[in-house]
């Protein structure tokens, strides 16, 4: 029996037919949904619910995905009764079931289709998503007049009170683009059905594993790569070069043949270091980079949230807001002090955080950070708090990017050329590890903190979360301390 398709399965098939096959025949191979990803889904649901208020007098088809036959029957009944605005109506045609976010009568016997996205702009994959819905709705007997994508408008600054939905949401007419896709849909569906009726298709790994969406089956499909030095770790490895290496049977960086011409000079250096097994350090350059530091050093790391719907007046959808920082004060004799701030109440954290940070960073000494993230957050704080802008600008003038020093002057075989702190730390400082922390990454920290702000965690879990956040953020700045000490050793200082 040919499985029923849906708009999400259609989208999956467009990205990768193997992923579609796996989702139908072996869904248990999918990587479990992470806490951070689940929060993205939850925010999308919330945005969709809020967008319904754009349309007056709407009636929702309440049956969920487990009761599709009942949803189809309810949709038919509501249409027969003369409903003019439907939320989540169900339609089935040509083996495809779709649920439309909003379907609104245009007044001339036709209907306008609205697909709601929690993103900040219209993306190509949104067009194909809307197009397959229009194809099914029309196949089921209704005429579609216009097709729209509804998304969040990040230029909207919330001033408090009820959201101004007309400004919070942007509605873009994509009828022409969607109509251009529709004629090709029958052939695509036939291809998908034929593929699903056969054995697991052979599809190479590549950019499709992460674009436009991270694939649930990437772990399964990448399992044949080397565990320690997979070729996919090589930074900026193009798909053509990746496939050329796979053609040669190469899955490990160590096995890339000498003279392989499709690598950049930087990639060639990484291959050489991995094969040699020893770090390469530009000692003279490293000494110059470290000589510019002014002691004591202040190792700084922020934790942030970027909620889809603004939480505080004066903020925008998806605006990045720092709620926590850790500072390790690193003295030239090697002694350390730890200073920290975690915002534990539900009001806007920016002013109290910024005021405390200015005090904790004192007046002199290099402020170490890792990548440009902290610089961007400080610039944001200066813009949001003009009375503190001068003090923040003084901090900005003291910033030194530790990641840039590591990236420019060192290459370690344990990192495969990657420079995220979680790749660099175990290579240079194996005695330190994030593995035993209750929070393992910044995305999980952000998602859990947002849940606590929204009152979704019991009090005891919130208390435990605050302790976990302090431990996690503190590890980031302690990692920077130990990395810098290792660089000093490598530089002979």
* 407 shares a domain with 292: yes
* 440 shares a domain with 294: yes
Considering all CA atoms of the chain, what is the largest pairwise distance in Å, rounded to the nearest integer?
A: 82
Structural domain includes residue 303:
yes
Residues facing 150 on adjacent strands: 116, 171
Q: How many domains does the chain have?
A: 3
Decide if pLDDT at 80 tops 80: yes
Structural domain includes residue 216:
no
Helix, strand, or coil (residue 148) = strand
Residues 78 and 100: their CA atoms lie apart, in Å, by: 14
* 321 shares a domain with 291: yes
Answer whether 0.85 is exceeded by the pTM: yes
Structural domain includes residue 203:
no
- Confirm if 309 and 163 have CB atoms less than 8 A apart: yes
* 31 shares a domain with 121: yes
- What's the pLDDT at 440? 82
> pLDDT above 90 covers what percent of the chain?
97
How far, CA to CA in Å, does 98 sit from each of 20, 135, 166?
A: 16, 10, 27
Structural domain includes residue 175:
yes
The CA R_g of the chain, rounded to the nearest whole Å, is 26
Residues 50 and 52: their CA atoms lie apart, in Å, by: 5
Return the CATH number at 22: 3.90.320
> pLDDT above 70 covers what percent of the chain?
100
* 131 shares a domain with 53: yes
pLDDT band at 65 (very low <50, low <70, confident <90, very high): confident
* Range(s) of the domain holding residue 238: 224-276
Q: What's the whole-number mean pLDDT along residues 233-246?
A: 96
Decide if pLDDT at 339 tops 90: yes
Residues facing 59 on adjacent strands: 86
Reference 213, options 147, 309, 117; nearest CA is 117
> Residue 120, class by beta-carbon neighbours within 10 Å (0-12 exposed, 13-18 middle, 19+ buried)?
middle
What pLDDT digit, counting tens, does each position of 12-38 carry? 999 999 999 999 999 999 999 999 999
**DSSP sequence for 44-109:** HHHHHHHHGGGSTT-EE----GGGHHHHHHHHHHHHHTT-SEEES-EEEETTEEEE-SEEEE-SSS
Structural domain includes residue 329:
yes
Residues 395 and 364: their CA atoms lie apart, in Å, by: 9
* 392 shares a domain with 248: no
Instruction: Please list, residue by residue across 198-218, b when 16 or more beta carbons sit within 10 angstroms of its beta carbon and e when fewer do.
Output: eeeeeeebbebbeeeeebbbb
What pLDDT digit, counting tens, does each position of 442-456 carry? 999 999 999 999 999
Decide if pLDDT at 493 tops 90: no
* 157 shares a domain with 9: yes
Element (DSSP H or E) covering residue 188: helix 185-196
What pLDDT digit, counting tens, does each position of 293-315 carry? 999 999 999 999 999 999 999 99
Return the CATH number at 297: 3.30.420.10
Residue 339, phi then psi, degrees to nearest 5: -125, 145
- The length of the chain in residues reads 493
Structural domain includes residue 332:
yes
* 457 shares a domain with 425: yes
Chain-wide mean pLDDT for the chain? Answer: 96
Decide if pLDDT at 1 tops 80: no
- Please list, in sequence order, all residues whose beta carbon lies within 8 angstroms of the beta carbon of residue 456, skipping any fewer than 6 positions away: none
* 267 shares a domain with 183: no
Structural domain includes residue 207:
no
Helix, strand, or coil (residue 442) = helix
- What's the pLDDT at 71? 98
* 401 shares a domain with 453: yes
Residues 370 and 482: their CA atoms lie apart, in Å, by: 13
Reference 1, options 30, 27, 22, 24; nearest CA is 24
- Please list, in sequence order, all residues whose beta carbon lies within 8 angstroms of the beta carbon of residue 145, skipping any fewer than 6 positions away: 106, 108, 110, 111, 112, 175
Which of 254, 276, 298 represents a domain boundary (last residue)? 276
Residue 105, phi then psi, degrees to nearest 5: -65, 130
Which of 241, 256, 276 represents a domain boundary (last residue)? 276
Q: What's the whole-number mean pLDDT along residues 169-177?
A: 98
- Confirm if 292 and 368 have CB atoms less than 8 A apart: no
Q: Is the dihedral of CA 184, 187, 191, 196 positive or negative?
A: positive
Residues 291 and 349: their CA atoms lie apart, in Å, by: 36
Helix, strand, or coil (residue 116) = strand
* 253 shares a domain with 337: no
Residues facing 252 on adjacent strands: 230
Q: HSE-up of 454 (CA within 13 Å, CB side)?
A: 17
Residues 309 and 39: their CA atoms lie apart, in Å, by: 13
Reference 425, options 355, 382, 485, 489; nearest CA is 485
Reference 304, options 262, 353, 338, 261; nearest CA is 353
Pairing of strands 367-369, 297-305: parallel
Structure tokens at 187: 């052939």
Q: What's the whole-number mean pLDDT along residues 456-467?
A: 95
Decide if pLDDT at 116 tops 70: yes
- Confirm if 234 and 265 have CB atoms less than 8 A apart: no
- What's the pLDDT at 199? 97
Structural domain includes residue 424:
yes
Looking up tokens 């850790």 gives: 326
* 272 shares a domain with 291: no
Angle between helices 35-51 and 442-453 (to 10 degrees): 40
Pairing of strands 111-116, 102-105: antiparallel
């Amino acid at each position: 029996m040919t499985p029923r398709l849906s708009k999400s399965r259609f989208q999956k098939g467009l990205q990768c037919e193997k992923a579609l096959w796996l989702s139908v025949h072996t869904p248990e191979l999918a990587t479990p949904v992470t806490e951070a990803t689940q929060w993205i889904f939850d925010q999308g649901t919330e945005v969709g619910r809020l967008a319904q208020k754009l349309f007056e007098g709407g009636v929702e088809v309440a049956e969920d995905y487990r009761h599709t036959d009942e949803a189809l029957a309810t949709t038919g009944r509501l249409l027969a009764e003369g409903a003019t605005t439907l939320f989540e109506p169900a339609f089935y045609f040509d083996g495809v079931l779709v649920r439309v976010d909003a379907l609104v009568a245009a007044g001339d016997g036709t209907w306008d289709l609205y697909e709601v996205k929690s993103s900040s702009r219209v993306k190509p994959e949104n067009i194909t998503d809307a197009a397959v819905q229009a194809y099914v709705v029309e196949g089921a007997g209704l005429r579609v007049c216009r097709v729209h994508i509804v998304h969040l408008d990040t230029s909207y600054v919330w001033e408090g009170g009820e959201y101004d939905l007309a400004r919070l949401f942007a509605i873009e007419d994509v009828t022409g683009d969607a109509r251009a896709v529709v004629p090709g849909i029958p052939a695509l569906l036939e291809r998908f059905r034929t593929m699903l009726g056969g054995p697991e298709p052979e599809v190479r790994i590549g950019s499709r594993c992460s674009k436009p969406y991270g694939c649930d089956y990437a772990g399964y499909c990448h399992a044949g790569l080397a565990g320690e030095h997979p070729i996919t770790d090589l930074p900026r490895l193009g798909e053509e070069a990746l496939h050329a290496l796979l053609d040669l049977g190469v899955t490990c960086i160590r096995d890339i043949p000498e003279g392989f011409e499709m690598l950049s000079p930087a990639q060639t250096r990484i291959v050489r270091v991995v094969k040699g097994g020893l770090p390469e350090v530009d000692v003279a350059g490293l000494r110059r980079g470290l000589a510019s530091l002014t002691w004591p050093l202040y190792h700084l790391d922020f934790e942030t949230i970027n909620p889809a719907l603004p939480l505080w007046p004066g903020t925008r959808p998806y605006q990045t807001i720092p709620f926590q920082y850790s500072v390790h004060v690193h003295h030239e004799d090697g002694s350390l002090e730890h200073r920290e701030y975690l915002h534990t109440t539900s009001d806007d954290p920016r002013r109290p955080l910024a005021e405390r940070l200015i005090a904790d960073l004192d007046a002199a000494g290099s402020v170490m950070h890792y990548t440009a993230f902290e610089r961007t957050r400080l610039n944001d704080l200066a813009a949001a708090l003009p009375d503190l802008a001068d003090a923040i600008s003084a901090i900005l003038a003291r910033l030194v990017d530790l990641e840039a020093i590591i990236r420019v002057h060192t290459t370690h075989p344990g990192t495969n050329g990657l420079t995220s702190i979680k790749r660099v730390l175990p290579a240079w400082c194996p005695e330190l590890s994030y593995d035993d922390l209750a929070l393992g990454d910044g995305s999980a920290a952000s998602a859990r903190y947002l849940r606590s702000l929204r009152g979704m965690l019991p009090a005891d879990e919130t208390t435990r979360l605050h302790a976990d956040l302090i431990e996690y953020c503190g590890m980031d700045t302690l990692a920077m301390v130990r990395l810098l000490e290792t660089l000093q050793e490598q530089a002979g200082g």
